[in-house]
Structure 1
Amino acid sequence: MVFYYKARPEVGDYTIFMGLDKHENEELIKYGFPEDIWFHVDKMSSAHVYLRLHKGQTIDDISEGLLEDCVQLVKANSIQGNKMNNIDVVYTPWYNLKKTPSMDVGQVGFHNSKMARTVKVEKRINEIVNRLNKTKVERKPDLKETPRRDAKA
């Protein structure tokens, strides 16, 4: 099961998504798109949240409002991180995620740690989380069969 969300309308037509559990996260890690940006609460258990950028965009094209939606969603979906203030959320392009056979299910590292960015999230903003949750759609995509470029979430 993959959960899809729509970012705030004023930032453009962007899809944010996350897996149901660590096993779904494995599939998302394996079958990501070059336009995907991965988000996770740093040094804590949390959902793997992805932002699908438009073709040709990079991590540098993420607006402040779009970043806020992503980090609030990942914070809200971390049991530990949701209860704390001043947490760090790390994010990086999908293709920078490194998975080795010795890693636990859902665990990742980075090919290049310099490509990973960190943002401080002072507190949960319920207004943002509630707005995102109103757009939530659940689907069971066959990630392996989804066309890499033309798939629309």
Structure 2
Amino acid sequence: MVFYFKARPEAGDYTIFMGLDKHENEDLIKYGFPEDIWFHVDKMSSAHVYLRLNKGQTIDAISEGLLEDCVQLVKANSIQGKVRTVRVEKRVNEIVNRLNKTKVERKPDLKAEREAVNAAERAVRKLQLRDKKRREEMERLEKEKQAEIRSYKGLMISDKMTSNKQIASTNKSLQELEDDFM
């Protein structure tokens, strides 16, 4: 069982979640995303609380309010102690109660979720690679076309040439030949 919480509205649309016990916590770690931030009391038995950041965000993007929500959940679901980077002196029941009102229990297939995200990322990379190859091929063809235009190969084609003997055999006057030439 995994518990999901909604962060305070002014913090943005973030998912906060925690496992029911150590088995779920192990799966949450195993199938976690690179964007997941883990909150836990150092060297003590405590809840494992996770915050899923948006793609490309770093830990520096966490606002004070969002950080407070996460550490209060750890504090409320732990025996005692401090959080590694933030000292939580006391439990703030208003925050914990607000978060508990948003609590949703689910039994997610963490492995399938992770595999789906990996498959989507592979598909994006595959499309990007295909587009890159298509652009490179178009650039190569354009370069060949420009090289063909600049070359003299197309000027001296024997099918388009006439010899003096062929001109003489047409029985045209010199004036007619000059008119055809122009």
Q: Is the pair's TM-score, using the shorter chain for normalization, greater than 0.5?
A: yes
2:25 equivalent to 1:56:
no
More helix by share: 2
Q: Give 1:89's aligned amino acid.
A: V
Query: CA–CA distance in 2 between the matches of 1:52 and 1:125?
Result: 23
With the length of structure 2 as denominator, give the TM-score of the two structures: 0.62
Which of 77, 83, 86 is 1:89 aligned to?
A: 83
Matched-pair identity in %: 85
Q: Which residue of 1 aligns with 2:91?
A: 124
Unaligned runs of 5+ in 2: 121-182
Q: Which has the higher contact order (CA 8 A, sep 6+)?
A: 1
Q: Which runs of 5+ in 1 are unaligned?
A: 82-86, 91-117
| Aligned positions of 1:17-36 closer than 5 A | 17-36=17-36
RMSD over equivalenced CA pairs, Å: 1.2
Q: Distance in 2 between matches of 1:37 and 1:148?
A: 17
**Structure 1 residue aligned with 2:165:** none
Structure number with the higher strand fraction is 1
- 1:19-73 CA deviation, whole Å, 9 max, x = no partner? 0100110100100001100000122101110000011100011000000000000
Report runs of 4+ in structure 1 exceeding 3 Å deviation: none
Instruction: Give the whole-Å Cα distance in 2 for the aligned partners of 1:64 and 1:121.
Output: 13
Q: Secondary structure at the match of 1:119?
A: coil
CA distance in 1, matches of 2:4, 2:25: 14
Which secondary structure does the structure 1 equivalent of 2:65 belong to?
helix
Taking structure 1 as the reference length, what is the TM-score of the superposition?
0.74
User: How many residues are paired up?
Assistant: 117
What is the aligned counterpart of 1:145 among 93, 101, 112? Answer: 112
Deviation at 1:148, TM superposition (A): 2.6
Alignment partners' CA distance in 2, 1:56 and 1:129: 28
